[in-house]
Amino acid sequence: MRTLEYIEKKDQAYRRVLVCMLLGSIVTFAVLYAPQPLLNFFSKRYGVSPATASASISLPTLALAASLLFIPFLSRRIGRKRIMGISLFATSILAIISAFCNNFGFFLVVRLLEGISVSGFPAIAIAYLNEEISPMSIGGTMGAYVAGTAVGGFVGRVAILPLTDWFSWQIAFFVLGFICFLCSMYFWFKLPRSRNFQAKKMPFSEYMKALVTGFRDKRLFLLYSMGFLVMGSYIMLFNYIGYPLTESPYHLSQTVLGFLFVVNLIGTWSSTMFGKLADHHSRQKLMGISCVIFALGALLTLIPNLWIKILGIAVFAFGFFAAHTTVSGWVGVVAPANRKATASSLYLLFYYLGSSVIGWAGGFIWIDFHWLGLVCAICLFMIICYGISFVSSERGNGC
């Protein structure tokens, strides 16, 4: 039996893994969420509804979710690192191509392709970390990975808006794509090779059987459902917060609106904190705390004062990244050793389906019930999420 060679915190390779995961997250999530603060801009520029404008987020996340079913199968054949590297390069190139879209429909087509290209990184990153990092350090490492997703989302959202104000949204996407290409090159040359994984051919029928088994695992299905609700609620708030804040009485410019997304950087703190706490405390209790913080942040955005709204957005982001870190690490612990990659992919499938479905549906809630309706929906989802975490703990998942 082959001895596993884990990367320990004291190893130099450990830091390289963290840096590469950070850069990979920046490429993936900067490109994926860059249009989010521009949704109200697209509505005015191209005369489309909020729900249609949000398709620039929901379409790529839907394509991402679907692709997650097949990426692990490919990674088994050609390797973890290679799949992630190809994903990052393809995503960067498509971001540059999107800069030449003068038609919103064509832009949505490119965004759909970006959803497929970005899938290679998040589908494999969690499995790579679970396979290569010492189990004694995986909670903290997962927290660092999720923190990278916060930085990536921040870079994409904040970098796009000033460049859009100063030049155009096309130039903004070109600059973003070029920076992402440079990050992809560093990732390709510096990420340590897999020590505990060997590429091997696997019949597609056998792989599909493993997926079906993963769907039928009730313990894991409960965790997948929490990911669906957590991500959907997060995207719903951030998709539509720009609409009330650019209207009366706030009238925020695109640049100022973009800097509001700085609050997402608080996720680097909460994800790291809750990742470390998960190594020593019950994940069910941590999930309950996260849901309360999540809902409290949403409720604070109902207060008309702009500064309290910003505080609410910050609290909301803190709760989201705490919840995501807790649940994603929970999946890695509960999943059997031979199905960790499959379980990670199924979790992310539900996670991004939540982003796509709930994020898109939020447009209709906004039109019919305004901001109060959105906040009520988020609070309801958090109540359901806490209930699921309690049931999951009762089934023996509360590790």
Contact 115, 35 (CB under 8 A): no
Facing residues of 133 across strands?
7
Give the residue among 291, 300, 274, 296 at the shortest CA–CA distance from 389.
291
Residue 206: inside a domain: no
Residue 221: inside a domain: yes
pLDDT at 106 over 50: yes
Contact 180, 88 (CB under 8 A): yes
Rounded Cα distance, 27 and 156, in Å: 9
Residue 4: inside a domain: no
Mean pLDDT calculated for residue range 331-346: 75
Q: Check residue 334 and give its pLDDT.
A: 80
Q: Check residue 251 and give its pLDDT.
A: 84
pLDDT band at 161 (very low <50, low <70, confident <90, very high): confident
Higher pLDDT, 86 or 209: 86
Residue 327: inside a domain: yes
pLDDT at 198 over 70: no
CA 324 to mean position of chain CA atoms? 9
Residue-number span of the structural domain to which 350 is assigned: 12-191+211-397
pLDDT band at 200 (very low <50, low <70, confident <90, very high): low
Q: Check residue 1 and give its pLDDT.
A: 47
Q: Check residue 397 and give its pLDDT.
A: 55
Q: Check residue 139 and give its pLDDT.
A: 66
Q: Check residue 348 and give its pLDDT.
A: 82
Mean pLDDT calculated for residue range 82-102: 93
pTM of the model: 0.77
Give the residue among 302, 291, 339 at the shortest CA–CA distance from 72.
339
Residue 199: inside a domain: no
Instruction: Indicate which CATH number applies to the domain containing 79.
Output: 1.20.1250.20
Residue 345: inside a domain: yes
Q: Check residue 87 and give its pLDDT.
A: 94
Rounded Cα distance, 17 and 200, in Å: 23
pLDDT at 341 over 50: yes
Give the residue among 111, 95, 256, 275 at the shortest CA–CA distance from 171.
95
Rounded Cα distance, 134 and 279, in Å: 12
* pLDDT tens string 235-257: 999 888 888 888 888 888 777 77
Half-sphere exposure of residue 181: CA atoms within 13 angstroms, side-chain side: 13
Residue 202: inside a domain: no
Q: Check residue 394 and give its pLDDT.
A: 59
Higher pLDDT, 82 or 197: 82
Number of domains in the chain: 1
30-44, 98-112, 194-208, 346-360: the lowest-pLDDT one: 194-208
- Segments in the chain forming alpha helices (H): 12-33, 39-46, 50-53, 55-67, 71-78, 80-98, 104-118, 120-132, 138-166, 169-190, 204-216, 218-240, 242-245, 254-260, 266-277, 283-300, 306-334, 340-392
Mean pLDDT of the chain: 84
pLDDT at 359 over 60: yes
pLDDT band at 384 (very low <50, low <70, confident <90, very high): very high
Residue 67: inside a domain: yes
